[in-house]
Amino acid sequence: MNVLLRELKSHKKGTLLWSVAIAAFMFLSMAKYTALSGDAAASQQVMQAFPATLQAVFGMTGLNLTTIEGYYGTCFIFLAVMLAIHAGMLGAEIIAKEETGKTAEFLYVKPISRARVLTQKLIAGLALLALVGFAAYGSSYTSIAMVNAGLVPHEILIIFTAALSTVQLVFFGIGACCGGALGVPKKAATLTAIITFTGYIAYVLWGLSPDFSWMQLISPFAYFAAKDIIATNNLSTGWLLLCAGVFIATISATYLRYTHRDFKV
């Protein structure tokens, strides 16, 4: 039984829908840039007049929306949230589907180890993440070119894409851990969604006031804030290492727990 191919096939429709949704979001969002950049000074004054809370919610804090990099930065946080939701849900569902669907006994009586099944599931999940990530990059590149006279800031876009990929991996690991290691298959998706939403709320509070600066530590969205990426033209090595640690820890926990626990059938 080729679990890898089965998982890729069963998730092809969902992957396509997510890719289309992300592309549609990018094209619709970037279409507004032309109006903003037409009168840069007036537009910037209007944006600065927005309440601090609204700026934090929409990821506008510290960004100049009349530049293509700054405007893309406001789209970036929503791209990150969308990709995080997809990655987390995918990680939880791809691991727990046999238990939630009451088909675990049909898969695990086959002459194949749990570790091998889990490995193929994770590889399939990573491949699906890459496809959705490519859709995000492709739609970002194309939509920017359309509204910016064909000019695309390649270097900064690659850095933004690297940040998005890192966020995907973090939440995929969290979702897989919820589905496999925690032993709550029916609640795995819900728990993953709660963690993702909490991360976004922490990001908003972090951007709202210095009093919430400590919340950066609990929100992967705040590790790679658009304003910091634009200012430094780089990603923080420290935050990248933390994300790598989270991914390795969650996947390791998934293997250790999933390969030994009793399944709920």
Query: 141: alpha, beta or left, given left = phi > 0 and alpha = psi -120 to 50?
Result: alpha
pLDDT of residue 86: 95
Question: Would you give per-residue pLDDT tens digits along the chain (265 residues)?
Answer: 588 888 899 899 999 999 999 999 999 988 888 766 665 555 566 666 666 676 677 667 777 777 888 889 888 999 999 999 999 999 998 887 766 655 555 555 565 777 888 899 999 999 999 999 999 999 999 999 998 888 888 999 999 999 999 999 999 999 999 888 776 777 888 899 999 999 999 998 888 878 888 899 999 999 999 889 998 999 999 999 999 999 999 999 999 988 777 666 5
The runs of H, that is alpha helices, within the chain are 3-10, 12-30, 33-38, 40-48, 52-57, 68-100, 104-108, 114-147, 154-176, 188-208, 220-223, 226-232, 237-258
Parse the chain into domains and list their residue ranges.
Answer: 3-258
Distances (CA, A) of 111 to 2, 83, 183, 258: 12, 35, 23, 17
pLDDT of residue 208: 83
pLDDT of residue 150: 86
pLDDT of residue 257: 87
Rounded Cα gap, residues 73 and 58, in angstroms: 10
Distances (CA, A) of 23 to 137, 175, 181, 219: 9, 24, 33, 25
pLDDT of residue 247: 97
- This model's pTM is above 0.85: yes
pLDDT of residue 240: 96
pLDDT of residue 39: 59
Rounded Cα gap, residues 62 and 155, in angstroms: 20
Rounded Cα gap, residues 170 and 7, in angstroms: 20
Q: In this structure, how many other beta carbons lie within 10 angstroms of the beta carbon of residue 102?
A: 10
